[in-house]
Amino acid sequence: MTLEELGWTPEFHEHFEALEMPDLVPGRVIRQDPYSYSVMTAQTTVMAELTGPLRTSAADGEDRPAVGDWVALLPHDDETAFIHALLPRRGGFSRQKAGTVTGAQVVAANIDTIFIVMGLDGDFNLRRLERYLALCWNSGAAPVVLLNKTDLSEDLDGQVAAVEATAAGADIHPLSAKQGHGFDAVERYLGIGRTVAFIGSSGAGKSTMVNRLLGVDKMAVGAVRGDDQRGRHTTSHRELFVLPGRGVVVDTPGMRELQMWGDEDALRGAFPDIEDLTQTCKFRDCAHEAEPGCSVRAAVKEGGLDEARVRSYLKLKGELASAAARQSEASKRDVRLRSKKQSKLYKAVAKHSRRRKETGKQD
C-alpha cells in the first residue's frame, strides 16, 4: 500500500515536511474509538493515542483527528504510536454536536464524494435530504444521492422526480444494493487516491453498499423493522476501508441527530432556487414570511415553489444563525475566561514581586 493509494497528495506532503521532525511518520486515521485511533501508514496499521496539545483540546472538537484525517505519528513500537500533529484538512463533513453543547463534530475528513443514501421505502424523506445536502455542500465534497431499494418503491418515477427537484446540482442514481441493480453507477466515482463516504439513516443500506464494494461482508447488516421500515444502528462507529486500486471508502453509523453546522453559504448549494429568488426581494433583510415585494412568497403563490421546501429552507437558515450566535457567545466566554486567568496570573506575579522587594528591604 502506498500513501498515494490512501489519498496522499503533494499538499499533505508539504504540510508534513513543514513539521521538520525526521522521526515522524505520516498516516491516515481509519477508525476512531473513544480513547484511541487506528492509523494506517505505508507499512502497517497501528493503534495511536493523542499527545501534546491534541490531548488537551476539547473532546470531539474540530481540532481533534477524525476518520479520514492525515496525521503525523511518533512511533512507539511496531504496533503503537502517538499522534503528534493533525495535518490541515481539505475539508470535512461536520455537524453540530449532539445535545446542547455548542461546537462542531467532524464525521469524516478529506472526502472527495459523499454518497447520501436514502431508501425508497419508509426512509424516503425530502426534508431530511435537504439537511444532508446543506451539510455536504458545506464540506467541500461533491454530494451524490443514491436512492436505494428500487425493488420496494411503489412510485419510482415520482420519487426520482421529487428528488431531482430537491437535489439540484447533485448526481442522482436509483439502485438496489441488495440485488445489485444499478450499483455500477457507484463505481464511476472511485479511483486511486480518491475517498468516498456513505451517510444516511440507519437501515438505508450504507453497510450493504460498502460490503458490495469490498467484495466481503465486513460490515454488519441488520434488517429494518416491519412497522416503520426503519433500521437499527448496525454500524456503531466510523471506519475507513481500502479498495485496492480503487481508492478508499468511509462507512458511518446512522445519525439520530443531524443538527446544522457551518455558514449560510451551505444553503446556496442545497437551495439554489430559493437563494436566487432572495436576491430580487424588495427588502434586503426580507424574512420571506409576509413582507411586501417578497419574491419567494410570490413564487409560492404562483405555484413555482413548494411551500414545504421554503419552510425547510427557513428552518435550516434559523438553525445556522442560532449555531453561529451560540458559537459567538462561547468565543466571548472563552476570551473572558482567558482574560480572568491572565489577570489572576499578573496579580500573583505582582504580589510575589512586592514580597521579594519587601523581604529585600528588611534584609
Domain holding 198: CATH number?
Answer: 3.40.50.300
Residue 173 and residue 117 in one domain: yes
Residue 142 and residue 57 in one domain: no
What percentage of the chain carries pLDDT values higher than 70?
77
Which pLDDT does position 324 carry in this prediction? 74
Q: How far apart are CA 136 and CA 270, in angstroms?
A: 9
Kindly report whether the global pTM for this prediction surpasses the value 0.85.
no
Residue 197 and residue 286 in one domain: no
Which pLDDT does position 64 carry in this prediction? 87
For the cut 60, the answer to whether the pLDDT of residue 183 exceeds it is yes
Q: Which three cell numbers stand for residue 70?
A: 492525515
- Find the DSSP H helices in 116-181: 126-139, 156-166
Q: SS3 for 332?
A: helix
Q: How far apart are CA 114 and CA 302, in angstroms?
A: 35
- The answer to whether position 343 is within a domain reads no
More confident residue, 177 or 260: 177
Give, in order, the Cα–Cα distances in Å from 144 to each of 85, 118, 136, 251. Answer: 32, 11, 9, 15
Number of domains in the chain: 3
Residue 133 and residue 207 in one domain: yes
Residue 73 pairs in a beta bridge with 25, 83
Q: Contact at 8 Å (CB) between 165 and 202?
A: no
- 265-307 pLDDT tens trace: 778 888 999 999 999 999 989 999 989 999 999 999 999 999 9
Rounded mean pLDDT of the chain? 84
Domain holding 19: CATH number?
Answer: 2.40.50.140
Backbone region of residue 349 per phi and psi (left: phi > 0; alpha: psi in -120 to 50; beta: other values)? alpha
Alpha carbon 302 to chain centroid distance?
Answer: 37
Mean of the pLDDT values across residues 106-125?
A: 94
Mean of the pLDDT values across residues 167-176?
A: 94
- The answer to whether position 301 is within a domain reads yes
More confident residue, 264 or 160: 160
- Of 227, 251, 275, the last residue of a domain is 251
Structural domain of 163 = 107-251
Mean of the pLDDT values across residues 239-251?
A: 93
- The answer to whether position 303 is within a domain reads yes
Residue 232 and residue 309 in one domain: no
Residue 70 and residue 194 in one domain: no
- The answer to whether position 322 is within a domain reads no
